[in-house]
Structure 1
Amino acid sequence: MEIDAWVWWLIAAAGLGIGLVITAMPELGMLGVGAVAAAATAGIFGGDAVFQVVVFAVVSTALIAVVRPIANRHRAHRPQLVTGVDALKGRQAVVLERVDGSGGRIKLAGEVWSARALDTGHVFEVGEQVDVVDIEGATAIVM
């Protein structure tokens, strides 16, 4: 019993799909779609092997040429998630105890923080809004 060409193409597509899952290389998925297109060509049109390979190559190449740049563009423009003390930089806080170059207290993101002024000669009084420019250890640097 001879196995039809479209079955071989589907086996190849399944193998590429397994490779995609194991390696997480999206190009393998695109090659798998090319193999499915070649299987459809063999099953529907019954084309010869050369025509099937050409369909596989054209569909796979087209997918890689079109999808890959789009995916790279989306990956490059993805917003970066800022966490920890980096998320506090640039936020506003309220002075709880007078803040000067040597210290003080602020309320930042619902928590009480020790703080000191960026400009050692500047003083912030209770109730003033300040901007956090940096975090050094457990001390917010404000201006």
Structure 2
Amino acid sequence: MLDLTQYVWIVWLILVFVCVIIELLTLEFTFLMIAFGSVAGLGAYLLGWEWWAQILTAAVVSVLLLLTIRPVLLRYMRRGADPTPSNIAALAGMSGRVVSPIADTTGLVRLANGETWTARLAPESGRSIVETGTSVRVALVDGATVVVVPVERDDA
């Protein structure tokens, strides 16, 4: 009868390589920590430990690395990231000008970035219609519609 326990090291190596390949595709350090845990499991195999001790060692090392080293690495990697909001988050607070009168749920606004969006008035604006040419500020984005508040101009 063939004893498959002598080939367990191959399983550990395959697990390490698969985790490293997945890590190269995701770059989130999760699978890298699991790969190091698998290396610990391989080390336990080489020390002659039982199969359950190998798996337990791999799991404990992986969890410890995920909870301790991974947050530090992620913080280090994101340290120089650009904090400027982008996409929809950048629209909140942006100024614009009404292109087509806004009444109830219809109207168009040209934002400061040059984009034209369908618009509706925010309930707290207290107005029912906003005429063409009025300055507005984006309160929030709701799907493909910006919710705007008219801006009172100071002509002093």
Q: TM-score, normalised by structure 2?
A: 0.45
Q: Which has the larger Rg?
A: 1
Q: TM-score, normalised by structure 1?
A: 0.49
